[in-house]
Amino acid sequence: MASLSLEETNDYMNDYMNEYMNDYMKSLSEDELKALAIAQDHLKTSFDMVKSIHYQKWLQKRNQININKK
């Protein structure tokens, strides 16, 4: 089995994270999208959606659903 280069691994992880981010964004209500925009505006470059509490809770819920499907 061939191993992935660092660049290929990074590309894979970026695609994986982008898929999760897209799913997360689609799940947000209009009010949640407004709150997200405010957080991004106020925090600027220090804002990290992956580290946000709301995203973390969403991810835990999604993972729990996926575990229960197996």
**What's the pLDDT score for residue 2?**
66
Q: What is the pLDDT of residues 7-17, one digit of tens each?
A: 888 887 888 78
Q: What is the pLDDT of residues 20-56, one digit of tens each?
A: 999 999 999 999 999 999 999 999 999 999 899 999 9
pLDDT exceeds cutoff 80 at 69: no
What CA–CA distance (Å, rounded) separates 25 from 32?
A: 9
pLDDT at site 36: 94
| Whole-number pLDDT of residue 38 | 96
Residue 24 · residue 58 · CB < 8 Å: yes
The reported pLDDT for the residue numbered 29 is 98
Report the 10 Å Cβ neighbour count for 9. 11
